Structure 1
Amino acid sequence: MSGKLRLPPLNALRVFHAVVRHASFRQAADELLVTPQAVGQQIKLLEDTLQVTLFERRGRSVEPTEDAILLSHYVGAGFAEFAEGVRRVTKSNYRNRINLNASPYFATRYLMPRLAQFRETVPGADLRLTTMVDTPDFARDDIDVSVQWGYGDWPDLDVSLLVRDPKVICCSPAIGAQIETAADLTRFALLHTVKSKRLWPDILHHLGVAQGDQDGSIGFDDAATMRRATLQGMGIGLVSVIDAEEDLRSGLLVAPLGRDALQTMPKDEVPGFYLLAPRAHLRVKVVAASHRWLLNQTWDSLPDLLSTPLAAIPPHDA
């Protein structure tokens, strides 16, 4: 019996989970409807049981130690599994429901044309689709799986790349007429979405352009707004290939450095759309089936939307 691990009280772990999320004893107490003193007692009990220090006080806030950060990943995953199990067992009408969240761009450009196929592949599933620019809180927002734009850095989730989202440097013809080299890009506002602050620095570095001390960029909430700003001549945008094809064909935008200027970007510097899910959710049959369907799609093949290859579009005279 001496070698058997003694688990700390569940209530102490629950309090710990709240304190980590709020970085405050008082805010954790407000959530749990107890006093800050009661929170402090539970944290002390947990520290005594584990024989480690979990928090250091910083004025009115508390800062988790390295041990606390490590523990929080496992405790958070554990409570997520508890919540999922209770929800699935107690809500019989929820068992066949799949709450799918996706970034607005992925939902409209990639997912919507395939929804009929999804219903054929996963019959009986009650699909609920929502869109969100930011990564959802899976428990709070009642989300089963999500597709989000980024670089794959979601350490606490099951993460799979669905399709990369390479960009084309685009601008209005008037701005394009003033760009002869990559260095000329920094003379204009560099447009981006707020989730892609690293994209322009990576691209400028790839092109051998020094960005300088001044940040001449403008951030937008979503790709659609950034694209409209590019069309209105507010600056130089990074437009997804699908949209770039439409705008270059129509002549509304030009690619001043060429359509293939970014094709040799390192793979880890090219963002993409990733399928995210708490691991506990994948143990539910309907969620696992939906997750498997999303993984098995060939997302980079969109014949209805990409009838003409980008390289086949004739150059536009600026």
Structure 2
Amino acid sequence: MNFQVENSINEPVVLSEHFGVKLYIKREDKIHPFVSGNKYRKLKYNLLKAKSLGHDTLLTFGGAFSNHIAAVAYAGKMYGFKTVGIIRGEELKGRIKDNKTLSFAKSNGMQFEFVSREVYREKANSELINGLKDFFEDFYLIPEGGTNDLAIKGCEEILTDLDAEFNFICSAVGTGGTISGLINCSKPSQQVLGFPALKGDFLKEDISKFVTKKNWTLITDYHFGGYAKINQELIAFINKFNAENSIPLDPVYTGKMMFGIFNLINKGFFKKGSKILAIHTGGLQGIVSMNSVLKKKNLPIIE
């Protein structure tokens, strides 16, 4: 299995210089058209381990618009694994055709098991896992969002020695795996800023399980109401950003992160002369599904 990333992908692109602060973006979203950004990084060592252990099936968890579900389905097909997705929400069972993410996963061979939200909350419970093993037999388990020790090992490869010049490393945060990898490979002189897509402080505890460094902070002011919650202000920002830079952002993760970075620059959060590196973690596949929701609400779509 070839998991090499071209060096050109790792070259940061300068976005702007404002208030004496230089902002760059690393286009991790360009690694692969379907297994992009942090999903590629998180799956790298997990797939290698699954293959080395002789597993032929990958099982994982996700929601209706999960980037992780889409990535596992495609990567599984690409590398010869059967895939199983435990999907949050029994009501989605009869609506696969109306959901771009689930339709894509199914077209790449993923088998679904739809469960209630109550059952889904037990996804880390050993009893549930053992029950799934009885039903699906032997499989390699990949957690929701792909976050585990091997995923973090993959995310530690996002930064290179050339990135040591940056004062700040910024990343969107979902389950905490990507930022944990970035913290582990960051330099002592760098500050890692995480922009959670979810409400709540529980992520600090989750991240602390994987890191020992203290050079990181979660900026919790830009979740826009919680996971997958957006408003017209965020949509307008994403569309303007794409129009000006020819770089698409997703509304769940990278759009919120970039909105937060620009807002902090305007507020004077970063000292003059600072160099900021924003990590584009992908997630663009979810835009189509989000636009279908926005149309139903008579809201502007993401262009």
State which structure, 1 or 2, has the greater radius of gyration over its C-alpha atoms: 1
TM-score over 0.5 (shorter chain): no
TM range (shorter): under 0.3
TM-score (norm. length: structure 2): 0.26
TM-score (norm. length: structure 1): 0.25
